[in-house]
Amino acid sequence: MKKRRKKRKSAYLFFLLPSFLGVTLFVLAPFADVVRRSFVTAVTGEFRGFENYRMVFETRAFRMAAGNTARFILVCLPLLIGLGLIIAYFLSRFPRIRFLKSAFLFPMAIPAATVVLIWKLVFDKQGFLNLALTSLSKRLAGMGLVEAATVFQTDYMGTAAAFWVLVFSYIWKNLGYTVVLWLTGILSISEEVREAARVDGAGEWKCFIRIIMPNLKPVLYTITVLSFLNTFKAFREAYLVAGSYPDESMYLLQHLFNNWFTKMDFDKMAAAAVCMGLLLFAAIMLLQKLWDEGD
């Protein structure tokens, strides 16, 4: 028995060793070097203590970018998770929906450059949205519902509305895979359990709260973590649409890091990267703890 256990442990170690070496070489070692750089000057390598961190938090651009990023996460996560659950629960009633699940992933397959072109056509000063609003205004004026028609020429990407355009872009692109994940969890729940609950007099709402939601906790955790991490990928569309210096409402941490990298301001960049890494790790650990306590 002892020999078998030793062989199993050796087999597990040999199985995990390539992955562990890969993570150490390409993730842990580079991050350790970033931590070291956050305490020294980029040019001379002179030790500066927490001076780089102080400079980061005193920078107005960092506070603005961090605030916008936090606001973006707090707005997008509930919208994405809630809408995905509602749509998935509605679609789960259709027996053939499992054959159409791949269609929901279509937005993720569209290249970012194509998405940016669509957003420019829609939200530009002369875009489709302004044309549609102007046409609607003229119709209302013709019907006598408003005094005069209004010509809309708002540059949505150059105003505070840019933030909500970015929110719309994120929801549109990630809603499909969220629906697929929710559908997978809902369809994995035995129909017999739900039917037994209905026979006992439970309504649709009670079945949803008492049976479906408790069984969807693992799926909810997965969706929350993935959606949280994907909020940091919205930079691609924002950068391609508005460049390095967009409207302040959509100036995110990724814009700031990109600009610091361009200016070779590696001192502050390393300190900010360490702060972001620790914040992400703490957020995921907090979510894990909340889910464990909920079980």
Q: Which domains does the chain have, with CATH numbers?
A: 69-266 (1.10.3720.10)
Does 210 have pLDDT greater than 70?
yes
Length of the chain: 295
Is residue 167 within 8 Å of residue 75, measured between CB atoms? yes
Report the sign of the C-alpha dihedral through residues 123, 127, 130, 132, in that order. negative
The amino acid present at 59, given as its one-letter code, is T
How many of the other CB atoms lie within 10 Å of CB of 284? Answer: 15
Q: So what's the pLDDT on residue 146?
A: 66
What does the alpha-carbon distance between residue 147 and residue 143 come to, in Å, rounded to a whole number?
Answer: 10
Q: DSSP secondary-structure letter at 227?
A: H
Q: So what's the pLDDT on residue 72?
A: 92
The amino acid present at 278, given as its one-letter code, is L
For the entire predicted model, the pTM comes to 0.80
Q: What backbone phi and psi angles, to 5 degrees, belong to 47?
A: -70, 130
Query: What is the per-residue pLDDT across 80-102, written as a single tens digit (0 to 9) for each?
Result: 999 999 888 888 777 666 666 66
Is residue 211 within 8 Å of residue 189, measured between CB atoms? yes
Does 193 have pLDDT greater than 90?
no
What does the alpha-carbon distance between residue 84 and residue 219 come to, in Å, rounded to a whole number?
Answer: 12
Query: What is the per-residue pLDDT across 48-76, written as a single tens digit (0 to 9) for each?
Result: 888 888 888 888 888 999 899 999 999 99
